[in-house]
Amino acid sequence: MSSAQIEIQLIGIVVAAACALPGVFLVLRGMAMMSDAISHTVLLGIVLGFLVTGDLESPWLMFGAAAMGLLTVSLTELLNRTRLVKQDAAIGLVFPALFSIAVILISRFARGVHLDTDAVLLGELAFAPFDRLMLLGALLPRSLVVMSIIAIVNLVCLLAFYKELKLATFDAGLAAALGFSPALIHYGLMGLVSITAVGAFDAVGSILVVAFMVAPAAAGYLLTDKLERMLLYSVGLGALGAVGGYWMAHLMDANIAGSMATVIGLLFLLCLLFAPQRGLLAVSARQRRQRWEFAQTMLTIHLLHHEGTPEAEVENRVDHLHDHLRWEPAFAQGVVQRADERGLVRLENGGLYLTDAGRGLATTMLADKR
């Protein structure tokens, strides 16, 4: 493996980690699409910064992009507070407007500059190792240095304000009652999202920024209920997607950013299907098991209701369950078999009799209902 290949994968891993940390809170707050809006509208800040300074290396470009990210959040919030437009619609109004202004400015005043829309949307990680800077005597890829600094800033802010972020995310009312400012925390988080989007923007493009912020966090949400684990899982899945995406692009001779986004999407799909508690297969198996358990409980209640009565000889027969409980014969046989295996009922000559365990279950369920 060449040094360029290693550096590209390292850049992908660092970008994934930097994006996943604020991305978790965006997903938990139901604001995942805000990352999409910010990752596009920061282009306007970059373009305005370039038009003012005439230098693509100027730090004012990052300042302008971060300010534009905050402006995007502010305009969206203002529209949402009118109660005439919902948040998703507000994002849909603000983001295309600001992004289209940036595209017009590029086509009118910045043609030939490395700000074309293809680079903005897709990025080009393959070129990242060629853009280097000297740091502490070592010549390192600029994207790796910038994103490492941003990842450290995100981690430090997360550790410093973890309690406030957690409280404001899950219960903003309680956070305000305890003296915290949910609005300040909100805009601080959006500031981190803006800076992260700007830093990742040049190396990986806006599409991969959105993928790194949303997909690993959404997958992590499916895997755990613990915020700490969700953060770790999100970073890990993002890094796995970066490495897997690179080798997919290498084998298919395809765009690296697009391949990384594809692998991250596949990882989310795997989590969606196979997550232990919230995956579709687990949910389906749980619903199927609960359906059988509910039917067995209904059977014990039915038998208890007629137990010791003259009608028991007729009502408590397997072939009578279809008439009384509207169960198909095959389903009724399945319920009886499972109840027999659990020791809830006893089957004798077509008649059903409650065991002590079955009688106890029915009595308990009726008592809870009362």
Specify the higher pLDDT residue, 235 or 52.
235
Indicate the average pLDDT of the chain.
84
pLDDT for 335 beyond 70 = yes
User: Phi and psi (nearest 5°) for 2?
Assistant: -75, 165
pLDDT for 220 beyond 90 = yes
- Summarised one tens digit per residue, pLDDT across range 268-320 is 999 999 998 889 999 999 999 999 999 888 888 888 888 888 877 777 887 77
Share of the chain above pLDDT 70, in %: 94
Task: Give the pLDDT mean for 181-207.
Answer: 80
For residue 13, the model assigns a pLDDT of 93
d(C-alpha 10, C-alpha 243), whole Å: 8
d(C-alpha 358, C-alpha 336), whole Å: 12
Specify the higher pLDDT residue, 17 or 40.
17
pLDDT for 342 beyond 90 = no
Task: Give the pLDDT mean for 200-211.
Answer: 77
For residue 221, the model assigns a pLDDT of 93
In what helix (H) or strand (E) does residue 134 lie, and over which residues does it extend? strand 132-135
pLDDT for 116 beyond 60 = no
Could you give the 3-state DSSP secondary structure of residue 57? coil
Give the CB-side neighbour count of residue 242, counting CA atoms within 13 A: 30
| pTM for this prediction | 0.80
∠ CA 270-212-94, rounded to 5°: 120
